[in-house]
Amino acid sequence: MKVKALVLEKVRELSLREIDLSLDVGPDDVKIKIDTVGVCGSDVHYYTHGRIADFIVKAPMVLGHEAAGTIVEVGAHVKTLKVGDRVCMEPGVPDLSSRASKLGLYNVDPNVVFWATPPVHGVLTPHVVHPAAFTFKLPDNVSFAEGAMVEPFAVGLQASVKAQIKPGDTAVVTGAGPIGVMTALAALASGCSRVIVSDLVDDKLAIAGRYAGVSTVNVRTGSLDQAVSAATDSWGADVVFEASGSPRAYEGIHALARPGGCLVAIGMPVEPVKLDISAFAAREIRIETVFRYANVFDRALAMIASGKVDLKPLISETFPFEQSIAAFERAAEGRPKDVKLQIRL
């Protein structure tokens, strides 16, 4: 069926045009009228580079995977949702009968189908069909804009779950981009008593530093090592979240963690990084890795609804659907004060 959508034609070429998409509602599906879609770094990267790792844009593809909207139709078997429900959607759909899914690790099922990951279309289009099992009702006090923030926040939350945060932990987050800030907020809401965020850019750090419990270090001018040591009586941080994806962030990163502590690798370095395994071993530091998220959308919504996490200050600007291309151009600029740009349909 012909519908309007923001289409990535090829590298550096976007169109807001009609495209043919299926909108058939299966028995376990719901159909959602999209309200808000966030612009993600991966969307922008497909726009500017045409690929991420082995995922290559070979044909026109609709962008967008951070979305919230309203249910307008439900499949025959759907009992948990109804027409009119305000919802947000988990954009990856696994094969629920796979070995990984049965273990509860559906995010690492090799057959996950994920919005706006070639060749799968995204959701910058007025309507989308999605399995009810991956569609989550927004609490009344959570807006569509916040609902569309759940997806990036879920990455930080997954990292916090992997870290097995204990109440009162001290955490470090290296990298104050959107995911770094989300991770800091997730860590605080998950029990950390404080988080030290590092970056090279003051404007980014300023945004993170406005939250209670966050202190910041610009590693151009200050020492993260010293900040952690001072904050922890030389014991080290319980958890270090690496959220920059920069190979340089890994240099000496083991020294930030306490004996028996944990490093969570969230950023995705484009090439192998050097790790001093023996130095990690000397403190028996555990390294966790994160691939998207599983089973955290409901948790994210509960935390937003309860006020434990306030993501609204991270929405830097909202564009109308008609100006989607402008939104992407702005995102591609990478302004340091921009955290999240959103598009309203």
- Residue 88 half-sphere exposure toward CB, CA atoms < 13 A: 31
C-alpha to C-alpha distance for 154 and 202, rounded to whole angstroms:
25
Site for a copy of itself in 290-329 (CB under 8 A): 290-291, 294-296, 298-303, 305-308
Spell 225-254 as b/e; 16+ CB within 10 A means b: eebbbebbeeebbbbbbbbbbbeebbeebb
Nearer to a copy of itself, 299 or 330 (CB): 299
Minimum distance from residue 234 beta carbon to a copy of itself (Å) = 10
Among positions 58, 141, 282, 320, the unique one binding a copy of itself when judged by CB under 8 A: 282
Report d(CA 289, CA 197) in Å as an integer. 19
From candidates 62, 173, 189, 339, binder to a copy of itself by CB under 8 A? 189
Q: How far is it, in rounded angstroms, from Cα 287 to Cα 140?
A: 38
Who's near 86: CB < 8 A, 6+ residues apart? 68, 69, 70, 137, 138, 144, 147
Min CB(111)–a copy of itself separation in Å: 11
Of 18-26, 66-74, 266-274, 310-318, the segment contacting a copy of itself by CB under 8 A is 266-274
275 binds a copy of itself (CB under 8 A): yes
User: Nearest Cα to 261, choosing from 280, 229, 239?
Assistant: 239
Which of the stretches 61-69, 141-149, 183-191, 313-321 binds a copy of itself when contact is defined by CB under 8 A?
Answer: 183-191
58 near a copy of itself, judged by CB under 8 A: no
Question: Which of 222, 259 has the CB closer to a copy of itself?
Answer: 259
Which listed residue (12, 49, 102, 335) binds a copy of itself by CB under 8 A?
Answer: 102
Asked whether the beta carbons of 245 and 183 are under 8 A apart, the reply is no
Query: Which of residues 18, 281, 329, 334 is near a copy of itself by CB under 8 A?
Result: 281
Residue 226 or 306 with smaller CB distance to a copy of itself: 306
Would you say 87 or 189 has its CB closer to a copy of itself? Answer: 189
Q: Is 41 a binder of a copy of itself (CB under 8 A)? A: no
Site for a copy of itself contains 183 (CB under 8 A): no
Q: For residues 105-124, which are near a copy of itself according to CB under 8 A?
A: 105-110
Three-state secondary structure of 111-129: CCEECCCCCCCCCCCCEEE
In the numeric block, which tokens belong to residue 174?
């290296």
Of 185, 212, 211, 204, nearest to 300 (Cα)?
185
Closer CB to a copy of itself, residue 202 or residue 225? 225
Binding residues among 127-146 for a copy of itself as defined by CB under 8 A: 131-133
Distance CA 280, CA 259 (A): 9
Sole binder of a copy of itself in the list 26, 222, 259, 313 (CB under 8 A): 259
Q: Of 221 and 234, which has the nearer Cβ to a copy of itself?
A: 234
33: CB partners within 8 A, 6+ apart? 69, 70, 71, 72, 126, 127
- Binders of a copy of itself among residues 212 to 241 (CB under 8 A) are 212-213, 233, 235
- Is there binding between residue 270 and a copy of itself (CB under 8 A)? yes
Cβ contact 265:242 at 8 Å: yes
Total interface residues for a copy of itself by CB under 8 A: 82
CA distances from 169 to 138, 193, 243, 278, 290 (A): 30, 6, 18, 24, 20
Is the Cβ–Cβ distance between 67 and 89 less than 8 Å?
yes
Footprint (CB under 8 A) of a copy of itself, residues 72-91: 80
The reply to whether 103 sits near a copy of itself by the rule CB under 8 A is yes
Distance between CA atoms of 254 and 286, rounded to whole angstroms? Answer: 10
Nearer to a copy of itself, 20 or 271 (CB): 271
Asked if 168 touches a copy of itself (CB under 8 A), the answer is: yes
